[in-house]
Every structure is written in structure tokens, then in C-alpha cells.
């Protein structure tokens, strides 16, 4: 992978980087909107494209179950199937299978699980998961791994990283056979739960392999914000700086800023779009719940100076009205706003890294955001 560090902050690990994927150049820090089934809920692909978003996340587990790899293969790959000509990262589905604890069995060979759709039984090996992403022609592939919940005992966490490391070896071996077919890049995943010795062991193991990028998994799985920060800072110190760093599953402003401070380049989460569909919106002064009565006659925009379609055309009062009357336009406008807010936040982060003022910006933003 052609990876470059463009600018590094002098007071933190924050940085601006660039690398090339099959569907174009990626500039980081970058937030990936989550389109689990190939579509970011309540927003059109054109809206994403017009806002400059060129990397979204879809989920291998969900696409495998529905519509199925045969349909996507016959369509010519996931990009053709969903009519998206920008980059796609496909998660392995390991986290989704992890969340189906009563319905899955993990062995050294792979995972046996029951579909959340119809209860049917399925088995996926690490090689199967890479093959699915090969069929999808994913721009970034993720290997099957074992994610463990906060509070998992030490012995089970040891077993989880042993399986994860074995699966990583099998995944990279399978990927290398076919990578030249379409150029998709495979990222390794660090696990280790909340045990620093296991985090260190996993980081060393994964970083010593020939992965083009490194992901940190198993954080933001129920722990407090302070513990999240502690283990993010610890783990990020162990990663090869000459590769992209991806922190899986975070997407709130405060988590994004802390991730960037610790040298993370990429992040994803359903949170910004999920809360938008329920009427919770990001502002510089913290989140607001637009359904509240106080916005019934508030004729200002959601956020002053925001350039999203919602803020430049409609009032808080009207958007509240849309939610109260269950009009689908409400969640659509709210989703576009929240994604625009995150995109604008990252643009400011980049500007402050360029001017070497990131840590000052971080303090100002968090002080203001925390007032509400």
C-alpha cells in the first residue's frame, strides 16, 4: 500500500495521512458512515458522494445472509450491486456474531451460528470470510476475529487472542493468493480485552505480520470512557506508525477527538445515523433531542453556520414537526445533518493538525461540547 504521513501534530499523535485504494485516494482522519446492508440508512448515495464521503462500511455477515454472495457475484461485486463507485470497507461480521452469544459456537476452525433472520445454521471459517469479501471486491477487507466483552475473564481472553491470531494467519495467507485480482487491502485486528499484557502480545503479533493496515478491536464494548481512553492510549503506542490505524466502532465527537489524539486515522460507527433517526442531533453545544417541546416554535437552524440541507432550508420547529408526525423526511434531514457535523468536525481537526494547534482545538471543542 502506498501510505504517506502528510503532517504530524507536535503535541500529540494526531496526524494527516493518505493512501490509495482501488476506488480512489483516502485522506485521514476519516469517518466511515455505516451502510450495513449496502445502504447508509435514511440517506441517498448521491448525498454522501456530494458531501465528499468516499469510504463507507458494509457488513460481510449481513450481506452473506441477505441477499447472499451469489446475488452480489452475479451483479459484478458489491460496488455494482449498490451503485457506489467510491471505496467500501467490509467488516468481517465477527462483532455481529459475537453479539449473538446464545446462538453461536466458536472453535479454532471457525464459527457456527444461527441466523438472526430465520434461525438457519451456518458455519464460516476465516477463509470463507475472505472469499466473501473477494466476491464483494471490497477495497478494505477485515479478517474474522474473536471480540470479547468488557469484563471477560483472563483465561477466556487468552483463548480469544490465540484464535484471533490463528485466524489472522489463515486470512492473510488466503488473501495473498488473490489480492492482485482487484487490489483490496486486508487489515489485521488487535484484540486482548482489557488486559495490557494481552493487548501487548496481540499488537506485537499482528504488527509483525504483513498487513497493509492495523485495526484496534474490542474497545467501546461496554467500558467507561476513562477505561476506553486508557486502553486506547496504551494500545496505540504499540502500533506500527507506518501503516493506517483503524479504531473499530466509535463515532461520537468526543471519542473521535480522543482517537485522533492517539494517532487513529479511521473510525466507523452506526451511532451518528442511528440517533439521528430517533431525533437526536449533534450541535457544538452538545446533543439536542429535536422532539422536545422547547423546539416547537424555534425557527432557527439546527446549528448556526452548518451548510447541510436541513440547516440551510428548514427550522428546528419544522424538523420537530416532521418527527412528531412520523414523516420520513425528518430522519432523512437529521441523518444528513449528523453526518455533516462529523465531516465538518474532521475538517476542523485536519486544519488544526496542519497549523499544529490540535490540542488547543481539542480543549476548546470538548469544553464547549460538554456544556449541554
Please give the positions annotated as active site. Answer: 91, 268
Closest CA relative to residue 318, chosen from 342, 335, 302: 302
Helix residue ranges, H only, the chain:
45-50, 60-65, 69-75, 78-82, 94-98, 126-136, 154-178, 196-207, 225-236, 253-261, 271-277, 309-313, 316-324, 329-354, 358-369
Nearest Cα neighbor of 98 from 174, 195, 191, 184 is 191
CA 154 to chain centre: 27
Phi (first) and psi of residue 275, to 5 degrees: -70, -30
- Looking at residue 293, what DSSP letter applies? G
Are 210 and 178 in contact by the 8 Å Cβ rule? The answer is no
Q: Among candidates 73, 46, 283, which has minimal Cα distance to 182? A: 73
Q: Break the chain down into helix, strand, coil percent, rounded to 5.
A: 45, 20, 35
Neighbours of 27 (CB within 10 A): 16
Amino acid at each position: 500500500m502506498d501510505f504517506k504521513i502528510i503532517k504530524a501534530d507536535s503535541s500529540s499523535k494526531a496526524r494527516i495521512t493518505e493512501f490509495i485504494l482501488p476506488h480512489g485516494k483516502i485522506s485521514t482522519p476519516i469517518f466511515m458512515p455505516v451502510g450495513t446492508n449496502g445502504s447508509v440508512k435514511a440517506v441517498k448515495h448521491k448525498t454522501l458522494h456530494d458531501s465528499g464521503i468516499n469510504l463507507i462500511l458494509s457488513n460481510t455477515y449481513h450481506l452473506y445472509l441477505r441477499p447472499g454472495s451469489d446475488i452480489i457475484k452475479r451483479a459484478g461485486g458489491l460496488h455494482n450491486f449498490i451503485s457506489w463507485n467510491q471505496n467500501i470497507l467490509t467488516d468481517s461480521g465477527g462483532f455481529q456474531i459475537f453479539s449473538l452469544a446464545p446462538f453461536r459456537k466458536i472453535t479454532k476452525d471457525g464459527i457456527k451460528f444461527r441466523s438472526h433472520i430465520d434461525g438457519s445454521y451456518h458455519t464460516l471459517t476465516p477463509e470463507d470470510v475472505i472469499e466473501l469479501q473477494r466476491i464483494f471486491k471490497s477495497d478494505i477487507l477485515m479478517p474474522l476475529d474473536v471480540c470479547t466483552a468488557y469484563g471477560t475473564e483472563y483465561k477466556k481472553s487468552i483463548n480469544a487472542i490465540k484464535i484471533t491470531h490463528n485466524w489472522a494467519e489463515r486470512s492473510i495467507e488466503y488473501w495473498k493468493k488473490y489480492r492482485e485480482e482487484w487490489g483490496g487491502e486486508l487489515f489485521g485486528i488487535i484484540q486482548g480485552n482489557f488486559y495490557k499484557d494481552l493487548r501487548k502480545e496481540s499488537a506485537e503479533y499482528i504488527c509483525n505480520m504483513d498487513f497493509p493496515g492495523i485495526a484496534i478491536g474490542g474497545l467501546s464494548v461496554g467500558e467507561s470512557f476513562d477505561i476506553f481512553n486508557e486502553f486506547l492510549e496504551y494500545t496505540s503506542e504499540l502500533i506500527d506508525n507506518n501503516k493506517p490505524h483503524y479504531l473499530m466502532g466509535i463515532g461520537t465527537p468526543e471519542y473521535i477527538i480522543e482517537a485522533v489524539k492517539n494517532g487513529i486515522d479511521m473510525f466507523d460507527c452506526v451511532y451518528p445515523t442511528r440517533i439521528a433517526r430517533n431525533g437526536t442531533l449533534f450541535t457544538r453545544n452538545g446533543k439536542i433531542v429535536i422532539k422536545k417541546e422547547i423546539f416547537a416554535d424555534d425557527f432557527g437552524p439546527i446549528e448556526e453556520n452548518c451548510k447541510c440541507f436541513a440547516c440551510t432550508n428548514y427550522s428546528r420547529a419544522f424538523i420537530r414537526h416532521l418527527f412528531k408526525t412520523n414523516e420520513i423526511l425528518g430522519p432523512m434531514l437529521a441523518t444528513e445533518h449528523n453526518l455533516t457535523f462529523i465531516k465538518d468536525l474532521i475538517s476542523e481537526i485536519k486544519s488544526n493538525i496542519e497549523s499544529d494547534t490540535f490540542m488547543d482545538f481539542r480543549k476548546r471543542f470538548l469544553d464547549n461540547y460538554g456544556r449541554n
